[in-house]
Structure 1
Amino acid sequence: MPFKPPDVAKCPVCGKSVYAAEERVAAGAKYHKFCFKCSMCNKMLDSTTVANHELELFCKQCHGRKHGPKGYGFGGGAGALGMDKGERFGNKECEMDNKPKDTSGVTGTGGTGPKCPRCGKTVYDAERAIGVITPWHKSCFNCKGCKKSLDSTTMAMHEEEVYCKNCYGKNFGPSGYGFGQGAGTLSMG
């Protein structure tokens, strides 16, 4: 009986034969050691960092960017909002992209949610400033005067705009002799 060599698997990345001394295995397929890397960011992988999608290899982070759930409310842990699809690695789409679609023609103004008083765009829960009744984007919730970032304890409202307490006092607070002298002094005489 003639000698028959064992079947040698072909690497799904390069299509060449993979021999036992150089093989890495994922999802039942054999890969070369140097082909066993993320198809988006090219990071070298091992059995603990590999994620596979239809024989295409990814690091777990890039797999999540390309094939994981996306949109408001999905994140990378610790309450994070994950919107990174890996565009810098060439990924243009995501299987489960559920970001609300804007049908108005003006970016960010569509949707049925409340609108931000500063920019007029829809305010989704994940980007809403916390602690204020009127919905604002976190990025828009800053002092109109000095642009200082605000929260519910450092803001003052005037005619649907927000100010830090310092700018509010300068622009809309009491004025005249004795006001703003410091140390709580007020002279009315």
Structure 2
Amino acid sequence: MPNLGGGAKCAACEKTAYHAEEIQCNGRSFHKTCFICMSCRKGLDSTTVAAHESEIYCKSCYGKKYGPKGYGYGQGAGALSSDPPRHTGLQPQESKPRPASSNPSENKSSQKFGCSDRCPRCSKAVYAAEKVMGAGKPWHKTCFRCALCGKSLESTNVTDKDGELYCKVCYAKNFGPKGFGLGNAAMLD
């Protein structure tokens, strides 16, 4: 019997989805109430849907199921994948050889993860989670201290001279103006 109502079959429940209640995704029709994530059952819309072949997911569940796996991808070490890599049909690109580093303290993990920022105080790699900028250079949060007194610095109390960091007190004592009325007694002969 022909469908006289003008609707299409819902891809989820296989009942007729009439135009007023129809949502289309990947060339398939859904009822508004059937347009839900296949994993968590959360309602979807055009901005939150992620389709994979004939399945629909919210972006979060799609990422967990089909996205990159492992530590550093927002899932923690508990989601490390032991699945063999899927063949995508793409050929690996030939990479250009990296020039040898003149810094002997450069370790293999910084080469592996593409980190090029080095802390001026300890010369170790500075990663985004621990980076603080000062004097135009990246520093570890733990190395972001006054060179003289060792006080931990913040953007409100940091000063720099010749690439080194100082608290405002040490900077004023060592590099500030000197003379009568500036906190130092003037020597009179």
Which range, TM-score by smaller chain?
0.3 to 0.5
Bigger relative CO (Cα 8 Å, ≥ 6 apart): 1
Of the two, which has the highest radius of gyration? 2
Give the TM-score normalised by the residue count of structure 1: 0.44
